[in-house]
Structure 1
Amino acid sequence: MMADAFSSSSETVIQRAVDVTVKVNTPVGKLEELYQISKTCEFIREHKFEKVALQFPDELLGDSVAVARQIETNSNAKPFILGDTSYGSCCVDEVAAEHVGADCIVHYGSACLSPSKRLPSMYVFEKRPLDVETCASSFRELYPDRQSRIVVLYDVNYDHAVDDLLAHLSPEYPNLVASELVVEGEQCYMTSRMKTQSSDGCVSGQEHHPPIFQFGRQFSLKEGLSVTDYSMFYVGQEGATLRNFMMTWNRSSFCSFDPVSMKGRVESLSVNRALMKRYYAIERAKDASVVGVLVGTLGVADYLAIIQQLKETIRRAGKKSYMFAMGKLNVPKLANFLEIDIFVLVACPENSLLDSSEFYKPVVTPFEMEVACNKTREWSEEYVTDFRHLLPGGQSHVPLADQQEDGDETDVSLITGALRSRNLLNSEPTESSFGSSVVLRNQTMTVANNSAASFLAGRSWRGLEQNLGETPVVKAVQGRRGIAIAYEEEGTS
């Protein structure tokens, strides 16, 4: 594809070759199979929805118009296409749907299956191809012992092929455990073999002992056995889903099969090394004085509850916190807040483990911030990426210590080697000759006031301020014309 770039004077034309990859749209005859249009229309008619939000990830937007037309024709509902989601495309974007007054959301493609409670939602997974024979053959090579205890996990887009895979393997492996997709909430629906979880945490029709539920997957183990007694086999490409499973069940061995390359492998990623990187971030959080709470979701249930819990935990640890809602994160956005020492991201499990190596300040998860600030929570082999487990009633909830028992404890930073106090900001400041910028703590230690307000006051530029009545009125003058590479009034060299 050839692109013409014009200079500001329109006299010179630069011919530049640009490689553009254009995704071929799905043929109309295959839209029904891939996007489950008939089941979607049946769902819309059954609940008498009038406005429907169709949420597509970027890679499926090419088919969005054709799908929307067929849904409008067959359901008599008005569809609205949601393209650029507010946060991660794996989450149901209830905020964007509410902007158009939608009655429900149809979510297409990959999904983290995080619960949402505002609007009824329906999941339609992308049916990606899986060579079942090759996958089963790779499974046999990875697990030659037919008595091995194995749990089969998979990406949601391969849900349609799991039954065929199990039919090949179950007769040979008596200790094989199959996981199933479970969406939490009475207003969540599906077009596949996924089940809906009731409020008591059980799937209707099952009479086993309490199953294990994690990241929208559910499975039951034999009585007396735990997850650590099983190996994990994952069907899908390397990504956030597999990483979350490996971090959560870091004592279990993992193997995977990539349906694109059609190769199986033992996951050789050192989980211990990854955990040590996260522990380094926890030490940075302990050293921080000012924490930025990043709102990375507005749709996952209980996100407001975890934000309030984080703010209280941070306050009790003697740190200041500020909340930021800025949509999708990038390096330039977070670089605007130099006064923040560390950020904590509240998002769905698949977006929580953000690689912050390129950011100027680390970005940690709510669990890591709790390890840094809540002295009753200890760093152990447990790792939590789903923030809902940290709330009261959750399986990993640890109450804060009694505030009366919070003494002015000090310890040594493993990064700087300096002494740090847990409750520097909790005590009342005492009057001294040092002024308000320095607070005398005891006979040997003083601490500077690191509030964002004082940092901002010292800046020469403070953003877009109105300064009403303070700015002199001047006549408008004509500025430069053109682009920075060659303004029109500049001569050519």
Structure 2
Amino acid sequence: MASESAPILSTPAEHILEEPTPVTVQSSESRLSEEQLYLQYEIKRTVDEIRNGKWKRIALQFPDDMLVDAPRVFERIRDDLKEARKTASSSQNGNVDNVANDLAKTSLQNGQTSDASDQVEEKLCILGDTSYGACCVDEVAAEHVDAEVVVHYGRSCLSPTARLPVIYVFTTKPLDLDAAVDSFKETYKDLDEKVCLMADIPYSHHLDDLQARLAQEGYKNVFKTSIIRDPASLLPNRTAPTEVQENPEALKEYSIFHIATPPTSLLLILSSRIKAMHIFSTESPQSTALEASTTQLLRRRYALITRLSTVPIFGILINTLSVSNYMSALSHCQDLIRRAGKKSYTFVVGKVNAAKVANFAEIGGWVVIGCWESSLIESKDFFRPIITPFELEVALKGDGERTWGGEWIGDFSALLGKEQNEINGHSHAEAESTTQGDWDDQSDDEPPEFDLRTGRYVSQSRPMGRPSRPAVAENGETTASAPAPASSALVQRAKGDVAAIGGQVSPAAEYLRSKRTWQGLGSDFEISYERDEEGKIRGAAMEEGRSGVAKGYSVGEDASKS
């Protein structure tokens, strides 16, 4: 009897690439009117900022759910910019008199030129499919069209950009204010409760009305947060109360009432900083806001850290090319892995999915360098665990030093500042001794390493060995001789030799030579060159190749050859 369904172990391959959250597209009946379009996408403010900045090449970046309005927004901005140029030109022509003409002639005779760039037509371009997350500014795609500024629509992580200026248009979403007030009153019975009002960016404009309504109800200690561009602040991208700015520990006395479901990374960041967080869902409003609990999620993240503590090879995923200081974060992660005697490889990817990272079976764990929201990847579909730079720091500590009190840091710029403070607190000699030195093989006197998850002994946890500190003589000078500088000359190696790094055989080259059965096209042929009397390589003569169509090629002017 033939089987009518696929075996139980069979999984459709297309499921790997499915988006976990479906995109909601507006129907034709719910399209915005002209007035709503101007208000929703803040077209007037966008035109004013473009004119004030004197930018001529503008990129409009839309998330997937707003692409339906992109052509209309493009046309309105283009027409309004054209109208603004005409208005500026007519006002200038109407105010010019004879005295102005004389001054203009004098300035031209002195070598000065009038600014005619104000009348140059602006070039607009729509960026639809972003290279990375929709919350990040896609500077890579913008630079492909030589854009001078990016207009970013929708919610954003507000990570500082590296090269281009940005005009943020957060757009707005409706909120049932009465339901939000009732939910707040049901959640906080005490009128003296210290509460910070937060909201997802599209709902942030409702906080003023919400605070005013709560003040009428008798709540005295309600602080309304405002949007700032600082992911490393105590409340990421939000202002904090005055007493909290003076004493960060005072934030633990505050609860947070958050409108709309926040990103998971924000929950983990605030879990150790505040008293509690209650979430008012905008999709299905309830009488009582749900209290956010991160205990189980933190336990799972710590389990990933202990699992990767004995991994010999790490992969570093560059998931952004626009967030400032991402190269410093890359160097920081590479240095952490190198000091631990482990190996790392760097990969630049766009949107991370399971199919991409599964191509590299030798990688034992991944580290994502991206914005503070997209760096946290929670999925069971990936072949190897994926952690953040902060979790990498914890994972590479020794078993006796690895302590975690529940603090979780998402923005890698905070880690770089913390590292700089630690370096400044130590002497220069101590910093040099911990970051430099020759590589030695793993000593037999070192304690064995065991995988805390399986309990098995791990023999290749440090493929690159440990850095050895040079011996110090009685006069304080090191007895080890300084290593000779590396030669830059090309040396022809015999077939089968492998490259060495710092005097040690490269594990990657050794693996390629001994275990990889296929090493690329032409790897089984020995390349030989013709040399002249002086031993120099003799180049081949240039010949004209074939041309034409498949049914009959010609070589040069001879059509008989095919």
Structure 2 residue corresponding to 1:179, chosen from 207, 225, 232 = 225
Cα pair distance change 1:306/1:248, threshold 3 Å: farther
Q: C-alpha separation between the residues in 2 aligned to 1:405 and 1:51? A: 48
Cα pair distance change 1:266/1:70, threshold 3 Å: closer
Q: For residue 425 of structure 1, what is the aligned residue in structure 2? A: 464
Structure 1 residue corresponding to 2:189, chosen from 144, 157, 163 = 144
Q: For residue 389 of structure 1, what is the aligned residue in structure 2? A: 414
Q: How does 1:280-295 map to 2 (within 5 A)?
A: 280-295=303-318
Q: C-alpha separation between the residues in 1 aligned to 2:526 and 2:62? A: 48
Q: C-alpha separation between the residues in 1 aligned to 2:229 and 2:396? A: 32
Q: C-alpha separation between the residues in 2 aligned to 1:409 and 1:247? A: 35
Q: C-alpha separation between the residues in 2 aligned to 1:142 and 1:21? A: 31
Q: C-alpha separation between the residues in 2 aligned to 1:236 and 1:360? A: 32
Task: Name structure 1 gaps, 5 residues minimum.
Answer: 1-19, 185-196, 202-211, 430-435, 438-448, 472-477, 479-493
Q: For residue 451 of structure 1, what is the aligned residue in structure 2? A: 507
Q: For residue 232 of structure 1, what is the aligned residue in structure 2? A: 256
Deviations 1:40-60 (A, max 9, x none): 000000111101010000000
Amino acid at match of 1:126: T
Cα pair distance change 1:125/1:248, threshold 3 Å: farther
Q: C-alpha separation between the residues in 1 aligned to 2:509 and 2:184? A: 58
Q: Is the 8 A contact 2:312 2:462 kept in 1?
A: no
Q: For residue 348 of structure 2, what is the aligned residue in structure 1? A: 325
Task: Name structure 2 gaps, 5 residues minimum.
Answer: 1-22, 83-121, 436-442, 469-496, 499-504, 528-549, 551-562
Q: For residue 138 of structure 2, what is the aligned residue in structure 1? A: 93
Deviations 1:100-151 (A, max 9, x none): 1101011000101111131110110120001112111110110011111111
Amino acid at match of 1:216: N
Amino acid at match of 2:207: V
Q: C-alpha separation between the residues in 1 aligned to 2:285 and 2:81? A: 39
Cα pair distance change 1:140/1:106, threshold 3 Å: same
Cα pair distance change 1:103/1:306, threshold 3 Å: same
SS of structure 1 residue aligned to 2:349: coil
Amino acid at match of 1:451: P
The answer to which structure has the higher helix fraction is 2
Q: Is the 8 A contact 1:284 1:415 kept in 2?
A: yes
Structure 2 residue corresponding to 1:125, chosen from 145, 170, 195 = 170
Structure 1 residue corresponding to 2:370, chosen from 340, 347, 351 = 347
Q: How does 1:240-389 map to 2 (within 5 A)?
A: 240=264, 242-247=266-271, 249=273, 252-263=275-286, 265-375=288-398, 378-389=403-414
- Structure 1 or 2, whichever has the larger Rg, is 2
Residue 27 (structure 1) aligned with residue 72 (structure 2): no
Amino acid at match of 1:53: A
Cα pair distance change 1:289/1:65, threshold 3 Å: same
Q: C-alpha separation between the residues in 1 aligned to 2:289 and 2:212? A: 23
Q: Is the 8 A contact 2:423 2:431 kept in 1?
A: no
Q: TM-score, normalised by structure 2?
A: 0.66
Deviation of 1:264 (Å): 5.4
Identity of aligned residues (%): 36
Q: Is the 8 A contact 1:289 1:319 kept in 2?
A: yes
Q: C-alpha separation between the residues in 1 aligned to 2:306 and 2:262? A: 28
Q: How does 1:57-136 map to 2 (within 5 A)?
A: 57-76=63-82, 77-136=122-181
Amino acid at match of 2:408: Y
Q: For residue 208 of structure 2, what is the aligned residue in structure 1? A: 163
Q: How does 1:201-216 map to 2 (within 5 A)?
A: 213-216=234-237
Amino acid at match of 1:459: R
Residue 50 (structure 1) aligned with residue 96 (structure 2): no
SS of structure 2 residue aligned to 1:308: helix
Q: Is the 8 A contact 2:310 2:450 kept in 1?
A: no
Amino acid at match of 2:211: L
Amino acid at match of 1:368: E
Deviation of 1:426 (Å): 2.9
Q: C-alpha separation between the residues in 1 aligned to 2:334 and 2:185? A: 49
Amino acid at match of 1:392: G
Cα pair distance change 1:269/1:255, threshold 3 Å: closer
Q: For residue 484 of structure 1, what is the aligned residue in structure 2? A: none
SS of structure 2 residue aligned to 1:39: helix
Cα pair distance change 1:96/1:120, threshold 3 Å: same
Q: C-alpha separation between the residues in 2 aligned to 1:394 and 1:227? A: 24
Q: C-alpha separation between the residues in 1 aligned to 2:368 and 2:450? A: 26
Instruction: Tell me the matched-pair count.
Output: 411
Amino acid at match of 1:256: I
Cα pair distance change 1:92/1:314, threshold 3 Å: same
Q: Is the 8 A contact 2:279 2:291 kept in 1?
A: no
Q: Is the 8 A contact 1:412 1:418 kept in 2?
A: yes
Q: Is the 8 A contact 2:313 2:342 kept in 1?
A: yes
RMSD after superposition: 3.4
SS of structure 1 residue aligned to 2:368: strand
Amino acid at match of 1:34: Q
Instruction: Tell me whether 49-58 or 400-409 shows the greater mean CA deviation.
Output: 400-409
Residue 219 (structure 1) aligned with residue 236 (structure 2): no
Q: C-alpha separation between the residues in 1 aligned to 2:366 and 2:519? A: 21
Q: C-alpha separation between the residues in 2 aligned to 1:303 and 1:418? A: 36
Deviation of 1:415 (Å): 1.2
Q: TM-score, normalised by structure 1?
A: 0.75
Q: Is the 8 A contact 2:60 2:126 kept in 1?
A: yes
Q: Is the 8 A contact 2:268 2:294 kept in 1?
A: no
